Chain A
Amino acid sequence: MDIDLITQVLFAAIKTGTPLLFVALGEAICEKTGVLNLGQEGMMLMGAVVGFMVAYGTGNAGLGLVGAMLIGCVMSLIFGVLVLHLGANQVATGLALTIFGTGLSAFIGTSVVGKTLTGFEPIAIPLLSDLPVIGKVLFSHDPLVYLAIALALVIAYVANKTRIGLTIKAVGENPHAANAIGIKVLHVRYLAVMFGGAMAGLGGAYMSLVYTPMWVENMTAGRGWIALALVVFASWRIGNIMLGAYLFGLASIMHLVLQGMGWSISPNLLAMLPYVATIVVMVLISADKYKEKLLAPRSLGKPFDPRQMA
C-alpha cells in the first residue's frame, strides 16, 4: 500500500463513517436519557427520501437537510408518544418504527426514483487542506463531514460540561430522583427523542444528498443498526462514538480495497465483520445482566411513570 492509497482509503473511511456518526450521536443522547429507540433505520430512510425530494423539488440541498431533520423529528414523535406517553415497549415500538419507515419511504419515494442531483460539493479548507496526508484525509470533504465533526464536539461539550448534560444524565440514571428534584423527566426524554430523530434524518440525508446522490429503496442498507451498535461499543461516550464511526467506516470499505489489490481473503468474511459486531452488541444490550458492565444508562429501556415510586 503506498501513501496515496492510504490517504484515499482514510478519506473514504471518514466519508463512510459520517452518516453513522450523525445517527449515533442522536441515539447516544436519546439513550442517555434512558430511551432506546431502535427505529433509527426507519428514520434514516425517511430522512433520506424526504431530504432528496425537497432538495430535488427546490433545487436547494440545504432545504433538503432541513426537511430531513423535520421528518426525522416527526417520526421520532410518533415513537415518543407511544413509549413515553402510552408506556409502550421501547424495543417493539422501535422495531415497528423501522419497518414503518422502510415501507413508507419506499412508497412516497416512487416519484423520484431514478433522479439525481448535485447535492453538496466538497470544500477544501484553506491552508489546512494543503497539509500532506492529513489535509486530504480531514480537510477536503463536503460540508456535512465538517458539520458532523462540529456537532460531535458541541455535543461532547454539552453532555460533559454543562447543566443540560447533567440533567440528561440524571434522567437516564435515575428518573425518579430527577423527578424528585423537579426535573420534568418526560419533557427531557421527548426532547432527546426528537433530537435523535433529527440526527437520524440528517444521517439519512447524507446518504441521499452526498454519499449516493439519488433515492433508492432501502438505500441505508442497515447503517441505522450499525449506528445503534456503535453507541454501545462507545459506552455512550461521545469521543468514542466519533472514533468508532470512522473505524466502522474503514471496516466497511476495507474489504473492497483489499479485493482490488488482489488479496485472497474471502471478501464475504471481511464484509460481514461490521454486522457480526452489531449482532453481538445487540444481543448484549438486550440482556439485563450485561447492561451494567457496558456502562449503560441505568434506566435504559424502562418506561417512566411519575406516579409510581422506584
Chain B
Amino acid sequence: MKMKSLLVGLGLIAGMSAAHAAEDPFKVGFVYVGPVGDLGWSYEHDRGRQELEEYFGDKVETTFVENVPEGADAQRVITQLAKSGNDLIFSTSFGFMNPTLKVAKRFPDVTFEHATGYKRAKNMGTYALRTYEGRYVSGVAAGMLTESNTIGYIGSFPIPEVIRDINSAFMAAKSVNPDVTMKIVWVNSWYDPGKETDAANALMDQGVDVLLQHTDSPAPLIAAEKRGVRAIGQASDQSSFAPEAHVFSVRDDWAPYYIKVAQAVMDGTYQPQDFWGGFQDDMLSLASINDNLPEDVRAKIDATYDKLASGEFHPFTGPITDNKGNVVVPEGHTLTDQELAQVNWYVEGINDQIPR
C-alpha cells in the first residue's frame, strides 16, 4: 500500500515537471572511455559538455556515462542512451566506432557523432582533432630539449591516430635535431596510471630524457618530475603535476564543435560529415608553456605554432618515406584527412615495428 502511494506520488511529480517545461529540452548524451576526473581526454570532453549546457541553458539537457569499456559494453551503453530519449549522442573514443554505427542503424531518428573514427552513416558523423599539430610542436620542443638524443613515446593502442602522431612528433624532432632517436612503448590502455608510470620508468631507464604520451593520465609527468626529466602534457593542462618537468600541455577544446552540432540538429540542418579541428579552430591550444624553458626553445615553439595555426605548414607534406624505404607521401602531395585517418607506417628513422 505504501509502495503504491509512493509510486503515485512519483508519477505526480514526474507529470508536474513535464507540464512545467514548456517544451521538452533537447537531450544530448555523452559516452566517455575514461573517468571524467582523468584530467586528460575524458575530462576535456566533459568540459565541452558543460559548456554546451551553459551555452543553451534550459533548452538542452545532457547526460554522460563515464568509464565505458571499448567493446560489447559500449553498444549496450549507447543503446541505453538512445532508448532513453537522447536526440544526439557523442561517443568519444576510437573503440566506440562499430558499436556506435550498429546503434545508429537501429535508431534512425537519433543523431550520432563519433570522435576519431572513420565510419559514417545517414545519422552518424565523425569528428577529430588535428592532434598531430600538437604533437608536431611537442616533437620540436622534445628534439631541442633532449640531451641524450633519445625521446620516449608512451602509446596507448597502435591505431592510425596514435601512429600518425608518433610520426608527426618524430619528424618534428628530427627537423631540429638530426641525431634524435625515439623509443616507443605501448601500454594497451588509454588510461592506466600504474602502467603508464611503469612505461615512463622503463623509458627513462633506457636513457630517455623527454617523454611524450598518447595516454590520458598525468602519471608519466609525475614520474618524469621525480627523476628530473622533461615531459609534455596530453589533452588537458597537466602542469600542476610536474611544475619543473612540464614543457607544455596540448589542450583539447571540444565545446565549439559540440555547440555547433547541437545547434544544427535542433535546426534540422544537420548533415553527417567528417570534421577535423585544430589550432586554427581553437580546438587545440598550447597550455602553460613552462617559464623555465630556454629562450630559443620557447621562440621555436611559438614559431612552429604560428606556422601550423596559419595553415602555412602541414607536417604530412611529401616527400615522406617510411622506415622500410617505401615512399608513402609523394613529393607535392599533402595527406588528405581521409588519408591521415589511415596512417599505418612509421616514418623513416623510427627504428621499431608497429605491433600487429
A and B are interacting partners: yes
Assuming the contacts A113-B39, A114-B37, A256-B198, asked whether A268 and B206 have C-beta atoms less than 8 A apart, the reply is no
How long is the Cα–Cα vector from A16 to B185 in the complex, in angstroms? 18
Assuming the contacts A114-B37, A207-B194, A216-B38, asked whether A253 and B222 have C-beta atoms less than 8 A apart, the reply is no
Decide yes or no whether A267 CB sits under 8 A from chain B: yes
> Could you tell me if B219 and A267 are in contact, using CB atoms closer than 8 angstroms?
no
Closest chain A CB from B100 CB (angstroms): 23
> Could you tell me if B198 and A253 are in contact, using CB atoms closer than 8 angstroms?
yes
Decide yes or no whether B195 CB sits under 8 A from chain A: yes
How long is the Cα–Cα vector from A284 to B45 in the complex, in angstroms? 43
How long is the Cα–Cα vector from A12 to B201 in the complex, in angstroms? 8
> Could you tell me if B219 and A214 are in contact, using CB atoms closer than 8 angstroms?
yes
> Could you tell me if B222 and A212 are in contact, using CB atoms closer than 8 angstroms?
yes
New contact pairs (13) apart from A212-B193, A212-B194, A260-B183, CB-CB < 8 Å: A8-B201, A116-B222, A207-B194, A211-B194, A212-B197, A214-B193, A214-B219, A217-B37, A256-B202, A257-B202, A259-B185, A260-B202, A262-B183
When C-beta atoms are compared, the residue in chain A nearest to B241 turns out to be: A116
Closest chain A CB from B295 CB (angstroms): 29
How long is the Cα–Cα vector from A2 to B201 in the complex, in angstroms? 16
When C-beta atoms are compared, the residue in chain B nearest to A219 turns out to be: B193
When C-beta atoms are compared, the residue in chain A nearest to B356 turns out to be: A266
Decide yes or no whether B273 CB sits under 8 A from chain A: no
When C-beta atoms are compared, the residue in chain B nearest to A122 turns out to be: B226
When C-beta atoms are compared, the residue in chain B nearest to A116 turns out to be: B241
Assuming the contacts A212-B219, A262-B352, A267-B355, asked whether A113 and B35 have C-beta atoms less than 8 A apart, the reply is yes
A114 proximity list for chain B (CB < 8 A) = 37, 39, 218
Closest chain B CB from A80 CB (angstroms): 29
Closest chain A CB from B153 CB (angstroms): 10
Number of residues of chain A lying within 8 A (CB) of chain B: 35
Decide yes or no whether B187 CB sits under 8 A from chain A: yes
When C-beta atoms are compared, the residue in chain B nearest to A269 turns out to be: B355
A8 proximity list for chain B (CB < 8 A) = 201, 205
A-B contact pairs, 21 of them (CB 8 A): A5-B205, A8-B205, A9-B205, A12-B201, A12-B202, A113-B35, A113-B39, A114-B39, A212-B219, A212-B222, A214-B219, A220-B194, A221-B192, A221-B194, A253-B201, A256-B198, A259-B184, A260-B205, A262-B183, A262-B352, A267-B355
Decide yes or no whether A261 CB sits under 8 A from chain B: yes
Assuming the contacts A5-B205, A219-B194, asked whether A213 and B184 have C-beta atoms less than 8 A apart, the reply is no
Give which listed residue, B185, B193, B198, contacts A216 with CB less than 8 A. Answer: B193
> Could you tell me if B37 and A216 are in contact, using CB atoms closer than 8 angstroms?
yes
Closest chain B CB from A144 CB (angstroms): 15
> Could you tell me if B198 and A116 are in contact, using CB atoms closer than 8 angstroms?
no
Decide yes or no whether B326 CB sits under 8 A from chain A: no
How long is the Cα–Cα vector from A213 to B221 in the complex, in angstroms? 11
When C-beta atoms are compared, the residue in chain B nearest to A268 turns out to be: B188
Closest chain B CB from A213 CB (angstroms): 6
Decide yes or no whether A37 CB sits under 8 A from chain B: no
Decide yes or no whether A281 CB sits under 8 A from chain B: no
How long is the Cα–Cα vector from A223 to B185 in the complex, in angstroms? 21
Decide yes or no whether B240 CB sits under 8 A from chain A: yes
When C-beta atoms are compared, the residue in chain B nearest to A216 turns out to be: B193
> Could you tell me if A260 and B203 are in contact, using CB atoms closer than 8 angstroms?
yes
Closest chain B CB from A56 CB (angstroms): 14
Q: Which A residues are closer than 8 A to B by beta carbons?
A: 5, 8-9, 12, 16, 106, 110, 113-114, 116, 207, 211-214, 216-221, 223, 252-253, 256-257, 259-262, 264, 266-268, 271
Q: Which B residues are closer than 8 A to A by beta carbons?
A: 35, 37-39, 67, 152, 183-188, 191-195, 197-199, 201-203, 205-206, 208, 217-219, 222, 240-241, 351-353, 355-356
Main secondary structure of the interface of A (DSSP, over half): helix
> Could you tell me if A106 and B355 are in contact, using CB atoms closer than 8 angstroms?
no
B199 proximity list for chain A (CB < 8 A) = 256
How long is the Cα–Cα vector from A113 to B35 in the complex, in angstroms? 10
When C-beta atoms are compared, the residue in chain B nearest to A118 turns out to be: B226
> Could you tell me if A216 and B356 are in contact, using CB atoms closer than 8 angstroms?
no
Closest chain B CB from A48 CB (angstroms): 11
Query: Which 5 pairs between the two chains have the least Cβ-Cβ distance?
Result: A113-B37, A8-B205, A256-B202, A212-B193, A114-B39
Closest chain B CB from A69 CB (angstroms): 21
B352 proximity list for chain A (CB < 8 A) = 262
> Could you tell me if B356 and A256 are in contact, using CB atoms closer than 8 angstroms?
no
Closest chain A CB from B52 CB (angstroms): 21
Assuming the contacts A12-B201, A113-B35, A257-B202, asked whether A216 and B217 have C-beta atoms less than 8 A apart, the reply is yes
**Most B C-beta atoms less than 10 A away, residue of A8, A221, A256:** A256
How long is the Cα–Cα vector from A259 to B208 in the complex, in angstroms? 13
Closest chain A CB from B352 CB (angstroms): 5
> Could you tell me if B194 and A256 are in contact, using CB atoms closer than 8 angstroms?
no
How long is the Cα–Cα vector from A109 to B205 in the complex, in angstroms? 32
How long is the Cα–Cα vector from A172 to B319 in the complex, in angstroms? 71
Closest chain B CB from A242 CB (angstroms): 20
How long is the Cα–Cα vector from A256 to B191 in the complex, in angstroms? 16
How long is the Cα–Cα vector from A146 to B187 in the complex, in angstroms? 29
How long is the Cα–Cα vector from A181 to B198 in the complex, in angstroms? 50
B351 proximity list for chain A (CB < 8 A) = 262
A16 proximity list for chain B (CB < 8 A) = 198
